[in-house]
Amino acid sequence: MTSKAYKIGFFVLLVVNITLVMLFTFRPKPRMQGSNIMEVVSDKLGFSEDQKAMFAEMARDHRDQMVALNKQEHELTREYFSHLKLSNQEGPNQDFLARIKVIQEEKLTVTYTHFEEVKTVCREDQIANFDQLMDDMMRVLTGENNRPG
């Protein structure tokens, strides 16, 4: 091959690489999952703008509560399993398990209360949609959507 063919090949590959770098650098950012789920729920329930505003505030409160509880749970779980690294092989304090169970109960209660509040926002004609939404949410909450088969 001639040096001219090498030059053309070099510039073609250079343009392809620059294009790929630009595509990866300047592509649109993915939407946050939290805002997307709020839109999906609002759309499924057919919320008006007023209902959407009330729901958005409820969802923010629920998210804040869940973030705090998840943080506590993660810290306790990390401490619980950190006992495996200790040389004295003393088992973890059973108090950790009891505290983790309490947090799990709080998470379920907070979520149940959240859905009760959302239901109160629904008009009578939206209740059937709410019931269908709850079926969908149960699959998410129980992890059925993530299970193979």
Highest mean pLDDT out of 61-70, 81-90, 128-137: 61-70
User: Average of pLDDT values for 55-73?
Assistant: 95
Q: Lowest-pLDDT range, 24-38, 50-64, 78-92?
A: 24-38
C-alpha to C-alpha distance for 42 and 70, rounded to whole angstroms = 25
In whole angstroms, what separates CA 107 from the centre of its chain? Answer: 15
Which pLDDT belongs to residue 52? 93
C-alpha to C-alpha distance for 45 and 104, rounded to whole angstroms = 28
C-alpha to C-alpha distance for 62 and 66, rounded to whole angstroms = 6
With a cut of 70, say whether residue 33 has pLDDT above it.
no
User: Average of pLDDT values for 16-45?
Assistant: 77
pLDDT tens digits for 105-129? Answer: 999 999 999 999 999 999 999 999 9
Element containing residue 131 per DSSP (H, E): helix 127-141
Per the document, the length of the chain is 149
C-alpha to C-alpha distance for 30 and 119, rounded to whole angstroms = 30
C-alpha to C-alpha distance for 67 and 73, rounded to whole angstroms = 10
User: Average of pLDDT values for 22-28?
Assistant: 78
C-alpha to C-alpha distance for 138 and 44, rounded to whole angstroms = 15
Tokens of 21: 């770098």
Which pLDDT belongs to residue 25? 81
Which pLDDT belongs to residue 68? 96
With a cut of 60, say whether residue 34 has pLDDT above it.
no
